[in-house]
């Protein structure tokens, strides 16, 4: 890499911002609403809306979300019950907005764990290569041979139910992708000038990796984290729907749909529609944000 048009040079020049990393990007993307591809602001608005609703549900819900018999059984949406009631007379509106906390928390926690472990692992593999990289790649091939949801089901059956277990199991699914992505990023960038320069002035390898290479590689990882959050939350709802890991009567969107399933087939559409819309808003929000970040990354590379 001797060309003076090395694209990495642009990233080395520090931008006049006191905010670091993720925060800076979020702020700069809010500032450049019009210039970005349009999906990012919509996604951020959707996610902000969900967070707001979740916070409101902490302070106020029309009925206690766990209470049964707040109205007639399986009654259609009305003034008293905006989203109707389910088969045990719980208020679906209260449950739907409270469930947002569970699903958003599970999603964020699982993606955060996966992103942290996966990108560190992948970066180490890409940076040091050798047998560590070879073993990693073979292992990924094996893990990715399992259809994702099936592997989650198998592990959760073995581990047993529980919040932490669900998060860990869900975090394993996108992990191989983060490892691959981080490895590829580090592999291409470790020969760029800024990395060479960092090495040349006498930094230790690990310092070069974590202080110089990783900060320059997090943008594609963040875009992917956001996109993967979309199907992470779908899989969390799926586990709740099957009734594995998450307690059957938990205030969680997937479990709510499971409780309403038999009524839905008999016509009580509201029991599944509203919790499903919750999953949808969360998933589409994450996806739009991810697409937006990816589009911005591509735009800046041009």
Partner 1 sequence: MAVEISAPPPRSLRSRRGIVVPKFVSLIGRRVLAALLVIWGVVTLTFLLTRVFGGDPVNLFAQPTSTAADRAAIRQRLGLADPIPVQYVHYLRDVIHGNLGTSYMTFRPVTADLMNRVPATAELAVCALLFGVTVGVAVGVLSAVFEGSIFDRASRLLTSAGLALPQFWVALMLIVIFFDRLHVLPGPTGRLPIGAFPPPKVTGFYLIDSIITGHLSTFWPALRQLILPVLVLGYGVSSPIARGARASMILALKADYVRTARALGLSRARTWFVYAFRNAMLPVITMFAGTVAWTFSGTVLIEGVFGWPGVGQYALSSLENSDFPALQGFVLYASILYVIVYQLLDIAYTFADPRIRS
Nearest distance, CB of residue 201 and partner 1, angstroms: 23
Nearest distance, CB of residue 154 and partner 1, angstroms: 5
Closer to partner 1 at the Cβ: 78 or 191? 191
Any contact of residue 265 with partner 1 (CB under 8 A)? yes
Phi, psi of 245 (to 5 degrees): 85, -55
Nearest distance, CB of residue 197 and partner 1, angstroms: 18
- State how far the Cα of 178 lies from the Cα of 208, in Å rounded to an integer: 20
One of 150, 202, 204, 302 touching partner 1 (CB under 8 A)? 150
The kind and range of the H/E element at 277 are helix 270-301
Any contact of residue 247 with partner 1 (CB under 8 A)? no
Nearest distance, CB of residue 228 and partner 1, angstroms: 11
Any contact of residue 40 with partner 1 (CB under 8 A)? no
Nearest to 123 by CA among 209, 204, 219, 191: 209
Any contact of residue 116 with partner 1 (CB under 8 A)? no
Sequence-ordered list of residues with C-beta below 8 angstroms from that of 183, at least 6 positions apart, any chain: 122, 123, 125, 126, 133, 136
Nearest distance, CB of residue 37 and partner 1, angstroms: 11
Closer to partner 1 at the Cβ: 1 or 13? 1
From 2-10, 12-20, 24-32, 285-293, span contacting partner 1 (CB under 8 A): 285-293
With tokens 């994702």, the residue in question is 148
Alpha helices in 85-217 (DSSP H): 92-128, 130-145, 148-159, 163-172, 175-189, 193-200, 205-207
- State how far the Cα of 38 lies from the Cα of 136, in Å rounded to an integer: 37
One of 12, 117, 187, 295 touching partner 1 (CB under 8 A)? 187
Nearest distance, CB of residue 288 and partner 1, angstroms: 7
Any contact of residue 266 with partner 1 (CB under 8 A)? yes
| Rg of the chain in Å (alpha carbons) | 22
Any contact of residue 8 with partner 1 (CB under 8 A)? no
- State how far the Cα of 110 lies from the Cα of 233, in Å rounded to an integer: 9
One of 160, 202, 204, 302 touching partner 1 (CB under 8 A)? 160
Tokens of residue 229, six digits: 């959050």
* 202 φ/ψ sector (left φ>0, alpha ψ -120 to 50, else beta): left
Any contact of residue 6 with partner 1 (CB under 8 A)? no
Sites of contact with partner 1 (CB under 8 A)? 129, 138-139, 141-143, 145-151, 153-155, 157-160, 187-188, 191, 230-231, 234, 237-238, 241-244, 254, 257, 261, 264-267, 269, 272-273, 276, 279-280, 283-284, 286-288, 291
């Amino acid at each position: 890499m001797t060309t003076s048009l090395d694209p990495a040079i642009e990233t080395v020049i520090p931008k006049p911002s006191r905010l670091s990393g993720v925060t800076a990007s979020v702020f700069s993307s809010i500032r450049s609403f019009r210039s970005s591809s349009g999906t990012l602001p919509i996604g951020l608005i959707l996610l902000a809306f969900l967070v707001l609703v979740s916070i409101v549900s902490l302070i106020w819900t029309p009925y206690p979300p766990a209470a049964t018999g707040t109205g007639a059984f399986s009654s259609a949406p009305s003034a008293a019950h905006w989203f109707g009631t389910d088969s045990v007379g719980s208020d679906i509106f209260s449950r739907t907005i409270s469930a947002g906390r569970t699903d958003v928390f599970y999603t964020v926690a699982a993606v955060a764990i996966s992103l942290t472990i996966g990108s560190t692992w992948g970066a180490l593999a890409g940076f040091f290569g050798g047998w560590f990289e070879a073993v990693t790649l073979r292992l990924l091939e094996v893990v990715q041979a399992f259809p994702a949801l099936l592997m989650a089901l198998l592990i959760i059956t073995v581990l047993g139910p529980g919040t932490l277990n669900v998060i860990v199991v869900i975090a394993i699914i996108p992990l191989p992708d983060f490892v691959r992505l981080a490895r590829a990023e580090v592999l291409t960038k470790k020969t760029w000038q800024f990395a060479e320069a960092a090495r040349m002035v006498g930094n230790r390898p690990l310092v070069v990796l974590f202080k110089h290479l990783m900060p320059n590689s997090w943008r594609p990882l963040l875009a992917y984290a956001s996109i993967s959050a979309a199907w992470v939350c779908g899989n969390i709802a799926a586990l709740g729907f099957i009734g594995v890991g998450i307690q059957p009567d938990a205030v969680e969107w997937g479990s709510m749909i499971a409780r309403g399933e038999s009524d839905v087939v008999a016509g009580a559409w509201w029991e599944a529609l509203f919790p499903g819309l919750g999953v949808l808003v969360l998933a589409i929000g994450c996806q739009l944000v991810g697409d937006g970040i990816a589009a911005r990354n591509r735009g800046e590379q041009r």
